[in-house]
Chains A and B, each alone.
Chain A
């Protein structure tokens, strides 16, 4: 069976849905953060799949790869800052459980 664009888009959508479920269901802040990264990576797959299936002069559209390069850079910066915030939170609250951090909830 020939691989179509939809195969890759389905995998990407399913991975995004798994990440979304993790963000909603889990309580550990670190794992919620990991699931966010998973959603970001799933979106990357869509970009690469579209660039490969939409050829420009017989070549993939490489602009998508450049955009992906930027997305990976921003994700790395985001992880560094996010983990620093989690460490600062752990220092003051002694927990990474989101249900224990509810000062700003109401």
Chain B
């Protein structure tokens, strides 16, 4: 159990590092897919099966394919090796490391520190898909409608933006 956690956590983190380090956008996109697969495995380890599958279908399957499509359409090459002031890397790295240290500090003193995985009740006759479906079409029916309008607005926006000249 915990061996799998470390395996997939390492996959997610190394994939993420690959996105930042890879010069070629296509390699960065493939690292991203690797990272999302690791993340989906962590979701499934947390008994969130539907969310894990959605992560792979929507992120790795749809969003990253869209990214790759645009990378190939624009024919974006690798970033040319140009000397940049070292302060850029130092600044970016410092902000990220400061953030990571902050997270570590908060977590090490918080009340959640030693909370172990609680067992689910034995009466799990319904799957998580069942529960989420009930919530989506019961309690959260209005947000579902609003998200539908959002998707429509995004579709219209993309069509307008893709026109050759804006009027």
Known: A19-B16, A20-B96, A63-B135. A11 touches B117 (CB 8 A): no
CA distance A14 to B16 in the complex (A): 9
Q: Are B19 and A35 in contact (CB under 8 A)?
A: yes
- A residues apposed to B, CB below 8 Å: 1-11, 13-22, 24-28, 30-31, 33-35, 37-38, 41-42, 44-45, 48-49, 51-53, 55, 57-60, 62-63, 65-66, 68-70, 72-81, 83-88, 90, 96-97
Q: Are A30 and B71 in contact (CB under 8 A)?
A: yes
Mark contacts of B85-102 with chain A using CB atoms, 8 A cut-off: 1 yes-contact digit, 0 otherwise. Answer: 000110111011101100
CA distance A100 to B42 in the complex (A): 39
Contact count band on B: 35 or more
Q: Are B20 and A26 in contact (CB under 8 A)?
A: yes
Main secondary structure of the interface of B (DSSP, over half): helix
Contacts of A13 in B (CB 8 A): 99-100, 103-104, 107
Contacts of A83 in B (CB 8 A): 66-67, 70
Residue of A nearest to B89 (CB): A25
Shortest CB-to-CB span from B132 to chain A, Å, is 5
Other-chain residue from B13, B59, B89 in contact with A14 (beta carbon distance below 8 A): B13
Contacts of A1 in B (CB 8 A): 2
Other-chain residue from A8, A25, A78, A80 in contact with B88 (beta carbon distance below 8 A): A25
Q: Are B39 and A41 in contact (CB under 8 A)?
A: yes
Contacts of B120 in A (CB 8 A): 55, 58-60
CA distance A8 to B157 in the complex (A): 37
Other-chain residue from B43, B48, B93 in contact with A21 (beta carbon distance below 8 A): B93
Main secondary structure of the interface of A (DSSP, over half): helix
Q: Are B32 and A62 in contact (CB under 8 A)?
A: no
Mark contacts of B31-60 with chain A using CB atoms, 8 A cut-off: 1 yes-contact digit, 0 otherwise. Answer: 010011001001100111011001100110
Q: Are B70 and A49 in contact (CB under 8 A)?
A: no
Other-chain residue from B43, B74, B121 in contact with A57 (beta carbon distance below 8 A): B121
CA distance A15 to B8 in the complex (A): 13
Q: Are A17 and B103 in contact (CB under 8 A)?
A: yes
CA distance A34 to B66 in the complex (A): 11
Q: Are B19 and A34 in contact (CB under 8 A)?
A: yes
